[in-house]
Structure 1
Amino acid sequence: MQTLKADLKRKQEIFAEDGAHVSMLRICMADGTSANVLYRCMRWCANKNLGLLAYGFQWLNKFFNGCVIGSGADFAAGFVIMHPVGIVINSKVKGGNNITLESGVVIGDEKGQSPRLANNIFVGAGAKIIGALTVADNVKIGANAVLTKDANQGETMLGIPAKAYKKKTDETSN
């Protein structure tokens, strides 16, 4: 329950960062919150070896929210699903604190190996993170990027295949 509260508080902080100071009631009614709640219920059941019940929550999430999150996928506090439709996450995925996902994100397995995500990560709509790789702290993965190699701390990953974006400096300005 504490982890779910942290998820909702983080979502409220994201809204505030965008200039929308909204109540916790509004956060509870926002798109993606039911997916978060069903994910946390599924994880609780999986941790208590209540596999059939965990599967039931997984199915409800798929049916009502259009997202599939494996029962073994483990995210720390501050996990936020902004828009759940099309999200697919493999059961072997591990994630740290404050991970935010937009719609259509796939975090998947390749040859039995799944990604590890650190802390404070944003994943844009339609992005894919595939295979045995590590996404370090404070990484942003752009919309529709396909990440197949490690992302280092603080990088912004863009493109297919995803590469670190390097902001060009304007040499003519003072």
Structure 2
Amino acid sequence: MFPGDKALTLHKITTFFHNAKMKRLALFVSQFSRFLTGIEIEPGAIVSEKTIFSHGMGAVIGFSSIIGDNVIIRHGVTLGAGKIRPLDDRRIHPKIESFCSIGAGAVILGPITIGHHSVIGANSVVTKDVAPYSVVAGVPAKFIRSVENPQKMPWAF
């Protein structure tokens, strides 16, 4: 079993404890998973079981992140908060829609949405919404081009 698969399996257990209001146990399983796999998925994050961690070491997924189906996350990716934790239940982490590819070292911050079939370049810093079928890269991330044929992209399983 690959580390990404282990992280997703342990996140299912974390989610069970988190939803059952057993926060300390959820945090323990989450930290054990991070120790075992090098991938940190905070309790509360919604991560599809079809997510692919391609050499996911060092990936950090914030507690209010939402990740759709068939998203490829490479090593060193951060889905983080753009500001301090609010007092209410608003989402402060990114939402990644289905069939996205996130390059190594990319940092995606705040309650933004990465549209489906988009590509985030390696080491990019994304702080604004990304439209579906877009390729963005840079610091700060800028639109590079549109994805013209999604069947030829790395998520075409």
CA-atom RMSD, angstroms? 1.7
Instruction: For 1:5-16, list aligned pairs within 5 A.
Output: none
Structure 1 equivalent of residue 127 of structure 2: 148
- Residue 127 of structure 1 and its aligned partner are, at CA, apart by 0.5
Instruction: For 1:19-168, list aligned pairs within 5 A.
Output: 29-111=1-83, 112=85, 113-166=92-145
Hey, what's the Cα distance between the residues in 1 that align with 2:114 and 2:75? 19
Deviations 1:76-129, CA, capped at 9 Å, x for gaps: 341222223111111011222222211100000012422122111111111110
Question: Is contact 2:136-2:145 (8 Å) kept?
Answer: no
Percentage of identical aligned residues: 30
- AA in 1 matched with 2:21: N
Which runs of 5 or more structure 1 residues have no equivalent in the other structure?
1-28, 168-174
Which runs of 5 or more structure 2 residues have no equivalent in the other structure?
86-91, 147-157
Question: Is contact 1:36-1:81 (8 Å) kept?
Answer: no
* TM-score calculated relative to the size of structure 1: 0.73
Hey, what's the Cα distance between the residues in 2 that align with 1:59 and 1:166? 38
Hey, what's the Cα distance between the residues in 2 that align with 1:132 and 1:84? 22
Q: Between Structure 1 and Structure 2, which shows a larger proportion of helix residues?
A: 1
Tell me, what secondary structure is at the counterpart of 2:116? Answer: coil
Q: Which runs of 4+ in 1 moved over 4 A?
A: none
- AA in 2 matched with 1:94: I
Aligned residues between the structures: 139
* TM-score calculated relative to the size of structure 2: 0.80
